[in-house]
């Protein structure tokens, strides 16, 4: 897979940006490859950034397809893929206008709770760069703004304390895609985006740069 490499100042990790829209299966295979390389110390810690082509994914927390609304065939008829993933969490949507980050890291200690909170903090810091107050929910993983979820988090831990999967931040996502499912199995709250909260056009590239900067503060 051809990757677009961008240069960022003061990073002690690799940043790999996949150009265009990436099918979910390709992003998943890339993560598997990078996890293997990181286990063997053939690459440094790496942050993969991308936008997926429209896809509904279901994580390991889902017991069945009940959160996929009218079902897989209906969702596919809308032009989206459906993928049962090996990440944590339940059902969600990925697509254009959403910045997805897959950190491939070797953690110093396998503290899963702390790592999830650190990913939330990363997004909260990025939101603060735009003057938005992001926060956590006492019952659910992810990041919230004004009572709606703006970022979903689902991860996987492999042997050697290597992470994969990560976070999905709605920057200027078409939120109607979420109407067809029960996102993350949560019925009582909606989803939002950075653009909706700001009521202004948002540059995905600018958000990416802020994510890289804040990622360096958290994990560099």
| pLDDT of 12 | 79
Q: Are 192 and 170 in contact (CB under 8 A)?
A: yes
For the residues 88-115, what does the mean pLDDT come to?
A: 95
| pLDDT of 70 | 86
| pLDDT of 65 | 84
Low-confidence winner among 53-57, 86-90, 178-182, 192-196 (lowest mean pLDDT): 86-90
Largest CA distance in the chain: 47
Enter the tokens of residue 173: 């996502």
For the residues 102-119, what does the mean pLDDT come to?
A: 96
Residues 6+ apart with CB under 8 A from 56: 68, 75, 80, 81, 82, 83, 91, 92, 93, 180, 181
Q: Strand 81-84 relative to strand 91-94: parallel, antiparallel, unpaired?
A: unpaired
pLDDT band at 2 (very low <50, low <70, confident <90, very high): very low
**Residue in 179, 195, 1 with CA at minimum distance from that of residue 98:** 195
Low-confidence winner among 24-33, 82-91, 135-144, 150-159 (lowest mean pLDDT): 82-91
Task: For residue range 14-59, list pLDDT tens digits in order.
Answer: 999 999 999 999 999 999 999 999 999 999 999 999 999 999 999 8
pTM: 0.93
| pLDDT of 173 | 98
For the residues 64-76, what does the mean pLDDT come to?
A: 91
Residues noted as catalytic: 184
**For residues 36 and 204, what is the distance between their CA atoms, to the nearest angstrom?**
29
**DSSP code string of the chain:** ---EE---TT-SSEEEEEEEEE-HHHHHHHHHHHHHHHHTTSS--EEEEEEEPSEEEE-TT-SSSTTSTT-HHHHHHTT-EEEE-SSSS-EEEE-TTEEEEEEE-B-SS--HHHHHHHHHHHHHHHHHHTT---B--SSSSSEEETTEEEEEEEEEEETTTEEEEEEEEESS--GGGGGGS-GGG--S--B--HHHHHTS---HHHHHHHHHHHHHHHH-
For the residues 133-153, what does the mean pLDDT come to?
A: 96
| pLDDT of 11 | 56
Low-confidence winner among 17-31, 61-75, 111-125 (lowest mean pLDDT): 61-75
For the residues 157-179, what does the mean pLDDT come to?
A: 97
**Does the pLDDT at position 97 exceed 50?**
yes
For the residues 106-112, what does the mean pLDDT come to?
A: 93
Domains delineated in the chain? 4-219 (3.30.930.10)
| pLDDT of 8 | 42
């Amino acid at each position: 897979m051809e990757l677009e490499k961008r240069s960022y100042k003061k990073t002690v990790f690799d940043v790999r940006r996949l150009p265009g829209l990436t099918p979910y299966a390709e992003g998943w295979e890339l993560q598997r490859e990078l996890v293997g390389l990181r286990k063997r110390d053939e690459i440094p810690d790496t942050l993969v950034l991308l936008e997926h082509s429209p896809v509904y994914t279901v994580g390991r927390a889902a017991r069945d397809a009940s959160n996929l609304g009218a079902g897989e065939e209906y969702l596919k008829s809308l032009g989206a893929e459906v993928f049962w993933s090996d990440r944590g969490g339940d059902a969600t949507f990925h697509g254009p206008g959403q910045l997805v980050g897959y950190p491939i890291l070797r953690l110093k200690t396998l503290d899963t709770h702390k790592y999830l909170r650190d990913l939330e903090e990363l997004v909260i810091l990025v939101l603060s760069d735009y003057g938005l107050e992001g926060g956590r929910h006492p019952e659910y993983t992810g990041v919230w703004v004004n009572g709606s979820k703006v970022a979903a988090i689902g991860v996987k831990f492999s042997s050697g304390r290597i992470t994969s999967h990560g976070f999905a931040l709605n920057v200027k996502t078409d939120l109607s895609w979420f109407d067809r499912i029960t996102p993350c199995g949560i019925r009582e709250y909606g989803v939002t985006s950075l653009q909706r909260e700001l009521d202004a056009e948002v540059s995905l590239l600018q958000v990416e740069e802020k994510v890289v900067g804040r990622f360096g503060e958290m994990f560099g």
